[in-house]
Structure formats: structure tokens, C-alpha cells
Amino acid sequence: MDRRESLRRIAIGSVGAGLLVQCEPKTEKPATAQAPAGAAVTIDRTPEELARDQKLQAEKFFDEHEMKTITVLSDIIIPKDDKSGSASEAGVPAFIEFIVKDMPHYQTPIRGGIKWLDLQCMRRFNGDFASCTAQQQIEMVDEIAYPAKAKPEMQQGVSFFNTMRDLTACGFFTSKIGIDDLGYVGNRPNQWDGVPDDVLAQYGLKYDARTLEIAPKYT
């Protein structure tokens, strides 16, 4: 099989579905657009893997209030900006629901963290976190979002928020919206011919003659 045929086979075969998704017009998608639950399986799975994933997807861990809180928090962490959509638009809450079922060590810290947050807000604002005004929510988040300057009594909240920041960012930047935002332009057939010239110049670097001599040549 020659190279051109290889590339064509890939284009029509394994990434066909991916390309179709990419070609869709950029419209606002509902929060569930990339929800893992019930999504078609497009990657190689063994029967054991399929059974496990189906079982996890059929389970429900967070209740409605918890999901609402996770959605509010994730959009505070990664909001819509002039470049791309928000965490919830990228399907982050559904990703977090799945990952805590997949990795049970997250369950207690997040469930307990939400409860901790609600209690703090009850004391301060007489309402749970999700019911607070946007201003109250930010006031609360400011207490736990900056580890170095947070008060000692806020430490549990800092740990919870660190976990939420990690999972939100990870869920966002591994979504289609997030990868486009990040500007990752790989994961497609390419001909690697070294660092672009303008980038080499920017860093005062160049390839020596021998490197150029032994490198693959493209026509």
C-alpha cells in the first residue's frame, strides 16, 4: 500500500466520523452535546471494556442539586470568553459525573466538598451555593480559589476547589471546543519537516547540515 493510499484509507476509514463532526457549522450546542452517556463507541473496545463502560454509564452518582452545583462551579472556573464557550457548553459536568464513577476516589471529596461549600454559604448568605447570587458565589469562590492566600479555616475548600479546577480544565480542554481553543493542530496525517523557520529564528536555533542530510525528504 503506498502512502497516498494509506492516507486516503485513513481519511475515509478511522477518522471519518471525526471529520464529519469537525465540518459541522459552529453553532451553540446544548450542554449534552458531548455527554459521554450513550455516546456511540468509536474506539477499539474489548468485550470486558464495553461491559464495564455500559455499567458505569447506566449508573447515576450525583443528584440533581449536586449536578447543578457542579455546573455553576465549572462555568465559574472556565467561563465563555471571546475565544470559546464555557465548561458546561463543552460537556464538562457530564464528564465529571462519568469520571467519579470511573475513579471512585473522587466521589467523597467532591460530594463532601459540595456539602462543605453549601454549609459555608448557608452561614454567610442563608442559602446553598447554587442558590446564591452570582456576586455571592464569587465572594465565596474568592475564599478558596487562591491556595497561598486562603485562610487556614478555608483549607478544605481550597482542596475541593483544586480538584474542581483540575477536572473542569481537563474536561474542557479534552473536548472539541477546548482543543480548538487551545490551538492543538495535530492528530491528523502530516509530513514532519522540522520546526517552522520563523519559530527557529525566534529562538535563535537552526538545524545543522548533518541533521538536514539524514532527515526524510518529501516531494
Partner 1 sequence: MADFQIKKTPKSYDVCIVGSGAGGGMAAYVLANAGLKVVLLEAGPLYDPAKNVTQLKWPWESPRRGASTPYRNFGDFDAAYGGWSLEGEPYTHKDGTEFDWFRSRMVGGRTNHWGRISLRFGPRDFKHKSIDGLGEDWPIGYDDVAPWYDKVDQLIGVFGSKENIPNEPDGIFLPAPKPRLHEMFIMRGAKKMNVPVIPSRLSILTKKINDKRGQCFYCSQCNRGCTVHADFSSSSVLVKPAIETGNVDIIANAMVREVLTNNEGIATGVSFVNKDDKQDYTVDAKVVVLAASACESARLLLNSKSARHPNGLSNTSNVAGKYLHDSTGADMGGILPDLIGRKRYNEDGVGGMHVYTPWWLDNKKLDFARGYHIEYYGGMGMPGYGFGFGMQGLNGQYPGRNGSKKEAGGYGADLKDDYRYYYGASFGMSGRGEAIARETNYCEIDPNTVDKYGIPVLRFHYKWSDEEIKQARHMKETFEEIIVNSGGVVTWGKDGKENNYGLAAPGRIIHEVGTTRMGNDPKKSVVNKFNQAHECKNLFIVDGGPFVSQADKNPTWTILALSMRASEYIIDELKKQNI
CB 66 to partner 1: min, Å:
19
CB 175 to partner 1: min, Å:
5
49 interacts with partner 1 by CB under 8 A: yes
Site for partner 1 in 142-171 (CB under 8 A): 145-149, 161-162, 165-166, 169-171
Report the residue number, 23 or 205, with the smaller CB distance to partner 1: 205
CA atoms within 13 A on the CB side of 181: 19
- The whole-angstrom separation of Cα 26 and Cα 16 is 18
209 interacts with partner 1 by CB under 8 A: no
CB atoms within 10 A of CB 59: 10
93 interacts with partner 1 by CB under 8 A: no
Report the residue number, 126 or 166, with the smaller CB distance to partner 1: 166
CB 163 to partner 1: min, Å:
10
C-alpha cell of 70?
457542579
DSSP 96: H
The closest of 94, 92, 112, 117 to 39, measured between CA atoms, is 94
Q: Give the 3-state secondary structure of residue 165.
A: helix
CB 30 to partner 1: min, Å:
15
